[in-house]
A and B are shown apart, each in its own frame.
Chain A
Amino acid sequence: MEYALFLGCTAPIRGKHYESTARKVCEILGVDVVDVPDFACCGFPLANASAEAAFLMAARNLAAAEEKGVGAMMTLCSSCAASQVHVNREIRSNRKVMDRTNEALAEFGKHYTGSIEVKHLARVLWEDVGVDAIKAKVKRDLSSLKIAAHPGCHYVKPGEVHDCFDDVEDPKTLDELVAATGATPVSYEDKKLCCGGAVLGFEEKTALAMAKQKLDLVKASGADAMVSICPFCSVMYEANQGKIEEAYDVEYGMPVLYYTQLLGLALGVPEKELWFRMNSVKPSEMLAKVVIE
């Protein structure tokens, strides 16, 4: 299993702890990761201005991965997954689209033949590594933890683009991944609710109201922490948690971990290397429930 690691824009700057722990768990679970310095933005935010330009940006990344000689690409961010998977699918399924794309890429000497498979990191863990293989490598007992998984939107939707690997109306794979660490995934209402990240730059109040709804429901579920697999979702629930608490005069203190941090914890990664200190809501209470040697 070898994947070009597509970092995207947000994770390597605002989610370094995500990137670091992702690399760590991949190493432990035998997923080889290759860096492609030539990767740039996946095009997702630019689609608002020009869907065509966004398409070419994603295609450019696919060409860069191919140039590197890797067969597959793995993203950390769900929106990166959505745009890279979607563009890849369009190019591979339509010869005309491929030709037109390559004409544009030729402008700077790039070319894409359609050889790359694209998946989100969590899908790689669920599909390629598998829940059983993860369970087999668990070293720490997390059974005392109740975790609210937030699958987010683009990890599974559009269903057709992602080969319907999960049920869009009842996504289960992230819960299964959480369960694989030994922690208990809690069910809560509106699990599919969007984090509002895509609206943040356009109407902050609305985006925060969306995130607040989820935090309310997660809090009510009695979860020790929330788990995310997308740096943008984490920005909404974690980085903006204080802002929401202030605006609505509420208190959550809800840690929002990246799934790779939780998984790393289960796999026995030294606590220091899980970078919990970089989480803006400190998961100290949660960690107190786990025996860390």
Chain B
Amino acid sequence: MILHICTCKGLIDVPASPDFGSDVTVEVSECLCSKEGRAAVEASLGDDRRLVLAGCTPRILERFFGDIDSEMVNIREQGVFLGKGWDGIETMIRGGIERARAAEPVEKRERKISKKSVLVIGAGVSGLESARWLGEMGHDVVLVEEDPFVGGTVAKLDRLYPEGTPNSHTLYPLVNQVAGNDHIKVMTNTRVENVAGTVGDYRVTLRTSPRGVIECVQCGKCVPVCPESPVDHGVPRKAIFAQETYPDEYAIDFEACTRCGKCVEICPAKIDLDEPAREEEIAVGAIVVATGLRNFPIANLSAYGGGKIDRVMRAIDYERQIAAGIIAPEKVLVVHCAGSRDDNYLPYCSRVCCLIGMKEAKLTKDRFPNAEVYLSYIDMRCYGQFEYLYRTLRDQAGVVFLEGRPSEIFERGDRVVVRTEDIQSGEYLELEVDYVVLATGFEPDRETLAMLGLPSDLDFPYGYTGTTLSPDSNPQGIFLAGAAAFPRGVLESVESAREAAAGAHAVLSKDVVTFRTPVPRIEAEVCASLHCRLCVPTCPYGALSVVDEEMTVDETLCMGCGICSVTCPAGANTLEAWEDEAILAEVEAVADEGSIVAFLCKWSAYNAADRAGYDRLDMPSELRVIRVPCTGRVDATMVAGAFARGARGVLIGGCYPDSCHYRHGNTRAVSRVKLLQRFLSELGVDESRLRLEWFGSNEGQKLVSVVREMSGELASVGV
């Protein structure tokens, strides 16, 4: 084993030839965290790859040695800065050595990026923008769209918020750039049926359903002869139709088509009503998911007459009916939060509906200045520049804003009656209007997310996107763009589409990607014999699943928190680089009679300990810090190991509630600590000797107070 001790340019007093046993080669240097330090460490590594680095905090050491398998001992911030002399430091180093002895070597894991093209699912504004950037960067892009035309929701809209600019401003140049880029292959009428493989090598099955129009000269003769008039987002069209995006050919809506053959007869080019569907498999290195939003079905809103009253409609249908000249409203009410922030329907705020609702109010006033427009809301959410839209509507357009959520909407003759409280005046109000626009929220595209194995239930998968491009995540091959991740407006969708393109580019431009984060090791035989699957739901990222009867970790999704390792009742699951045995070995090496062993989360409490060091706070010398990735990684044997060595107290320090880096590691810790405390009481150990506390990364002072209380220096003050 090689041990490098850094004196940090003389800050740390290291005795002449420190002795850690015959099998430990010690090298002392002046400044490990430098290019020279790195070179020296590399040069010292022989066949024995076990390495301990004692120096400054891992926060800094990881910058230079993050990719080298090593144990790091923080003898600066949490050693000399906290007043430790060589004795204390020596204990810390011994902890690192024992940990290194017990640890399994971590193999560098890499994956070849063998396929260099990228699949973009969904050709709405987000998919188009992602494809455009990827194409510009020179990647080969396959852009698939389920509909016969590209453009998605934006193509159906008339105008975009906040200014009410026609959709053409955004869409038409974008469509042209995509359609005109030779790197981009656009496939309409196409669905993704299946995706297999992983980053760098996905095999994707595509299914293209018939368009019916084989050759088209755009004569339009087919339209008047078509007898079917299906309603497309509030507006009727024919079953054979065109859309001003791309491709520049007509298409048949086979859900509405009755195959009467009239279009075939009149067509001077070629229509084939029996065109077969086609399937093909493609291989790509990365995938951008841009499947957009699903409108919340208003038929669920029975108190609002949704789906029963024609004059109560979705925002998109209302907008299209105005644009098509089908309706000319004189008195309208826009209802915000229709079915949103509601336990009975969508519990979350969809973020964009306030703006959509205001847009509908504005375009009503733009077209029909004399129309009376009311808008009811619970809270107006118009962040940032959208405040101006809110002001314009009040000030220039004269829209009447009613605070209060309507209780019921029903028909009275050919009018629609809305009952609401006008909270600001405290009056019970009954309005009779021509039309009610329900500014509903949106649901995620659960089918696509499920097919890709991305975690999502009722909520959008924003937990996933939060980590997609996180600097501490493993390399990903799947990127969410635009509203597929969470409802977004066009502006933000476009931004997010570029972000997804950047993520895909970062993968595709490499030949090999390296995994940064440790993943759990699973002993397949032990796991299979117990077959309990308890760990699967504990993963915050959905990285665990059973594949061919074997528990499998999706390394691209895993973030290395170790919550699952603690859940395993058989000990068959342990997090690499943070193994149970290794942590326990360190505990046993550093804990002694009267010590306070602190398992500190590397995201919060561990940094608080560093902070205490920078501020040279008076930390009790009994403190022994064990760095863990998350409080959710701490298990009973580690705590028991500390007490067995005579520890006076055990502290588990993590991030405040709801702020866990791994979503719910700290909540897991709460329930585990409660159980452990009950167990300790039964053994006659005062349960207050095990404490769980939350820390901000700057709360060094709080850490000092807690450790003092636990070491008996201070009577409990209840921080």
Contact = CB atoms under 8 A, between A and B. Distances in A.
Direct chain A–B contact by Cβ atoms under 8 Å: yes
Contacts of B681: none
B14 to A, nearest CB: 64
Contacts of A170: 302
Contacts of A189: 410, 412
7 contacts: A167-B302, A169-B302, A169-B303, A169-B408, A170-B302, A189-B410, A189-B412
Contacts of B408: 169
A273 B303 CA distance: 41
Nearest to B412: A189
Interface in B302-342: 302-303
The A contact surface, by secondary structure, is: loop
Contacts of A169: 302-303, 408
Number of chain B interface residues as a range = under 10
The B contact surface, by secondary structure, is: strand
Contacts of B412: 189
Interface in A70-120: none
B454 to A, nearest CB: 33
Contacts of A167: 302
Interface in A149-183: 167, 169-170
Nearest to B308: A170
Contacts of B303: 169
Contacts of B410: 189
Interface in A179-238: 189
A170 B410 CA distance: 11
Interface in B220-248: none
B428 to A, nearest CB: 13
A169 B303 CA distance: 6
A216 to B, nearest CB: 14
Nearest to A191: B410
A167 B303 CA distance: 10
A222 to B, nearest CB: 15
Interface in B283-308: 302-303
Ranked nearest first, the 6 interchain pairs of A and B with the lowest CB-CB distance are A169-B302, A169-B303, A170-B302, A189-B412, A167-B302, A189-B410
B492 to A, nearest CB: 35
Nearest to A189: B412
A33 to B, nearest CB: 35
B339 to A, nearest CB: 13
A287 B175 CA distance: 73
B309 to A, nearest CB: 12
A170 B408 CA distance: 11
B408 to A, nearest CB: 8
Interface in B364-395: none
Interface in B388-438: 408, 410, 412
Nearest to A170: B302
A290 to B, nearest CB: 31
A49 to B, nearest CB: 29
B420 to A, nearest CB: 16
A217 B367 CA distance: 38
A167 B410 CA distance: 15
A170 B307 CA distance: 13
Nearest to B304: A169
Nearest to B417: A189
A237 B124 CA distance: 58
A169 B408 CA distance: 9
A170 B303 CA distance: 8
Nearest to B302: A169
Nearest to B301: A169
A226 B404 CA distance: 34
B335 to A, nearest CB: 16
Nearest to A167: B302
A169 B302 CA distance: 6
B26 to A, nearest CB: 64
A169 B301 CA distance: 10
Which among B303, B410, B412 has the highest number of chain A CB atoms within 10 Å?
B410
A167 B302 CA distance: 9
A33 B408 CA distance: 39
A188 B412 CA distance: 10
Nearest to A190: B410
A189 B432 CA distance: 14
A189 B408 CA distance: 12
A179 to B, nearest CB: 20
A88 B410 CA distance: 35
A189 B415 CA distance: 13
Nearest to A169: B302
A23 B412 CA distance: 39
Contacts of B302: 167, 169-170
A189 B411 CA distance: 9
B177 to A, nearest CB: 49
B342 to A, nearest CB: 14
Nearest to B411: A189
B409 to A, nearest CB: 10
Interface string A56-71: 0000000000000000
Nearest to A192: B408
A167 B408 CA distance: 14
A286 to B, nearest CB: 27
A170 B409 CA distance: 12
A170 B305 CA distance: 10
